[in-house]
Copies of this chain bind each other. A is one copy, B any other.
Amino acid sequence: MKFNIALLAGDGIGPEVIDQAVKVSDAVAQKFGHEITWKPALTGAAAIDAVGEPYPDSTHEVCKNADAVLFGAIGHPKYDNDPSAPVRPEQGLLKMRKALGLFANVRPTFTFPSLLDKSPLKRERIEGTDLVFLRELTGGIYFGEKGRKDNGDTAYDNCVYTRAEVQRLAKKGFELAMTRSKKLCCVDKANVLETSRLWRETVQAMEKDYPEVEVSYEFVDAVAMRLVQWPNSYDVLITENLFGDILTDEASVISGSMGLMPSASMGAEVSLFEPIHGSYPQATGLNIANPMATVLSAAMMFENFGLMEEGKAMRDAVNKALEAGVVTEDLANGGKAYGTKEVGDWLAANI
């Protein structure tokens, strides 16, 4: 097969980890007889510096016409302490999600046996955890009308959802549940919010189309608790944008493997794949960042093309590297630490 992949390296360690994912993806392409054309484009602080905008039109053109987007990370300390600055990297992220219609953010949290002890949770709490959040990504309070009244003394943010938006996301949730343990949890705050009641009634109405899926409904505050208490009691969870923002981040730290967690943001036309770790500015250029999450994100990309073996080859290489101790300093446990590039080379060679 032939692919065009938009390559948005972004800020901080983004370019370094993206380089490794490209290298490993190319090794997979070569082994399985595919041809990848990478189309680099600017985003984040890097794009602001170059053209004054975090998600320029030229980048949107590249993404729109690509078969998928591979994304590094964005964010730069110079924008950190002024959330009201007129141009910020995050605005590019939100603009990109909306413009590309990336409505479903897929965030798995799973464990690697060799990393269990890195979890803040006790081993018996975390063992066997393997859950996936589907977070709605282009609606809700993120994109509703917002503004000020009363000379700036009153602020408002409107949270809006349509039935169609909920159905689209929930459908992905039911489908994913069917490929896993057939358990789906709808996370809402239906005891307080009207949007949550719409979520709940919409999902309830879809249950009959997936008779094998066992659906549960939990309030967001209860999920925030149980994620810490019994994370392995969850499988597939669906939720709205803001709840998803908070809960997926909470979930990411429980496994001890945060530096290895990939993610996907699925749209109707194009999908985007990115590691969940941020731009980690302090490590920029030091060749110490862990490239595995980005490599696993590329694996999700192959799998999303239906190329399961290719994805598996990348996962297997990561597992082998972990077992062989070919890891960056975050996982070295005082043992030998390899560089970002060296881990990438090793993974590519082991495809």
Contact = CB atoms under 8 A, between A and B. Distances in A.
A214 interface: no
Contact of A83 (B81, B121, B162, B190): B190
A189 B221 CA distance: 17
Given A120-B122, A249-B224, A158 B158 contact: yes
A57 interface: no
Interface in A195-245: 195-198, 200-201, 217, 220-222, 224-225, 227-229, 242-243, 245
A58 interface: no
A42 interface: no
A334 interface: no
Most chain B C-beta atoms within 10 Å of own C-beta, residue among A122, A142, A150? A122
A148 B193 CA distance: 11
Nearest to A125: B120
A268 interface: no
B159 A156 contact: yes
Contact of A254 (B194, B228, B245): B228
Given A245-B221, A250-B228, A155 B198 contact: yes
Interface residues of A, number: 61
B247 A147 contact: no
A243 B243 CA distance: 9
A35 to B, nearest CB: 38
Contacts of A159: 141, 156-159
A246 B224 contact: yes
A146 B193 contact: yes
B195 A155 contact: yes
Nearest to A198: B155
Contact of A84 (B88, B141, B161, B197): B197
A154 interface: yes
Contacts of A162: 150, 153-154
Given A125-B120, A153-B163, A228-B253, A221 B246 contact: yes
A40 to B, nearest CB: 26
B249 A221 contact: yes
Contacts of A243: 246
A194 B146 contact: yes
A164 interface: yes
A196 B148 CA distance: 12
Given A156-B158, A158-B156, A254-B228, A83 B195 contact: no
A345 B148 CA distance: 55
Most chain B C-beta atoms within 10 Å of own C-beta, residue among A83, A90, A159, A253? A83
Contacts of A283: none
Contacts of A88: 191
Nearest to A220: B246
A252 interface: yes
A192 interface: yes
A281 interface: no
Given A197-B83, A201-B84, A155 B146 contact: no
A162 B152 CA distance: 9
5 contacts: A153-B163, A154-B161, A156-B161, A157-B158, A228-B250
Given A155-B195, A221-B246, 6 more contacts: A94-B192, A121-B228, A150-B162, A155-B160, A224-B247, A243-B246
